[in-house]
């Protein structure tokens, strides 16, 4: 069965510093991996995805994520955090042999001015 | 704006009642997904429809049911409501090709409160 873990409930980063939001996954087949962001009282917004190919994926708002097959991780990163990046971030995984998608529990990112 | 429309935005009802949540997917999207978001359970996948047919099932209770109509809008029916059903219910849509690695586009949700 597939699963995804976001080990940190909350991450605090000073504005201008690099940020990392962690995600690890488990699937039987090949993973499709996604990051979404949720702002208050809104639905989730797609940030980026990894399907195949280059392990470093670039997405919206300057975010990127690195796929690491050996560590089964897909950490979200940004070189320089903005206060407006403060939100709830979800990692999601889909097994390419299964239609179900599993979301992590979310990590709340606080960017401190 | 994601292009996915959910109605109503808020719903307040009592235990034992039945409600229907409605979702209009983004233009051109064939797949519709339903999710429940609560503080203690996080975001739970309920069910997916693709072009009118059920495609995948997640943690959906037997008291809940859904369908996707020929015009591709979808409804989620919740019956015999319990206090624990209070949550945000999201609909999402995607192009839903056979090898579905496409991102989902989420509506802003329906907040259901059970009194």
pLDDT tens-digit series, residues B7-29? 999 999 999 999 999 999 999 89
What is the band of A35 on the pLDDT scale with cuts at 50, 70, 90? very high
B residues 17-56 closer than 8 Å to A (CB): 33, 35, 42-43, 45, 48, 55-56
CA distance A99 to chain B (A): 6
B94 contact partners, CB below 8 Å, separation of at least 6:
B29, B31, B33, B100, B102, B103, B104, B105
Token pair of B92, please?
């999402």
Q: Which residues of B touch A90 (CB under 8 A)?
A: 43
Nearest chain A residue to B49, by CA: A99
- The helix or strand, by DSSP H or E, that contains position B74, with its residue range, turns out to be strand B74-78
**Residues A37-95: pLDDT tens digits?**
999 888 999 999 999 888 999 999 999 999 999 999 999 999 999 999 999 999 999 87
**Residues B69-104: pLDDT tens digits?**
999 999 999 999 999 999 999 999 998 765 567 889
Which residue is it, tokens 């208050």? A40
First to last CA, chain B: 31
Tell me what pLDDT residue B102 has: 82
Asked if A108 reaches chain B (Cβ–Cβ under 8 Å), the answer is no
What are the CA-CA distances from residue A53 to residues A22, A42, A57, A63, A99 (Å)?
Answer: 21, 32, 9, 18, 21
Is a pLDDT exceeding 80 seen at residue A97?
Answer: no
Q: What is the mean pLDDT of residues B18-46?
A: 92
Q: Which residues of B touch A102 (CB under 8 A)?
A: 45
Which residues is A56 bridged to in the sheet?
A66
Query: Which of A43, A51, A103 is opposite residue B107, by nearest beta carbon?
Result: A43
- The phi, psi pair for A83, rounded to 5°, reads -55, -35
Token pair of A1, please?
């069965």
Question: CA angle, corner B73, sides to B70 and B77, nearest 5?
Answer: 110
Token pair of A58, please?
């670039």
Contact A94 B101 (CB under 8 A): yes
Query: Which of A43, A100, A104 is opposite residue B58, by nearest beta carbon?
Result: A100
Tell me what pLDDT residue B39 has: 79
**Cis-peptide, bond into residue B8, ω within 30° of zero:** yes
């Amino acid at each position: 069965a597939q699963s995804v873990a976001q080990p940190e409930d909350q991450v605090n980063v000073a504005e201008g510093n690099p940020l990392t939001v962690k995600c690890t996954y488990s699937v039987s087949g090949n993973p499709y991996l996604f990051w979404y962001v949720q702002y208050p009282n809104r639905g989730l917004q797609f940030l980026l995805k990894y399907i195949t190919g280059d392990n470093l994926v670039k997405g919206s708002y300057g975010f990127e994520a690195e796929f690491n097959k050996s560590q089964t991780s897909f950490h979200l990163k940004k070189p320089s955090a903005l206060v407006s990046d403060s939100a709830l971030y979800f990692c999601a995984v889909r097994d390419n042999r299964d239609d179900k998608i599993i979301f992590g529990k979310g990590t709340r990112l606080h960017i401190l001015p | 704006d994601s292009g996915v429309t959910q109605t109503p935005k808020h719903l307040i009802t009592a235990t034992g009642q039945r409600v229907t949540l409605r979702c209009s997917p983004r233009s051109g999207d064939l797949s519709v997904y339903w999710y429940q978001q609560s503080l203690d359970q996080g975001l739970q996948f309920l069910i997916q429809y693709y072009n009118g047919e059920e495609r995948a099932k997640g943690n959906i209770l037997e008291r809940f049911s859904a369908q996707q109509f020929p015009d591709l809008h979808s409804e989620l029916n919740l019956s015999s409501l319990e206090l624990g059903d209070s949550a945000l219910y999201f609909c999402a849509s995607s192009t839903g090709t056979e090898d579905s690695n496409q991102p989902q586009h989420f509506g802003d949700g329906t907040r259901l409160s059970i009194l």
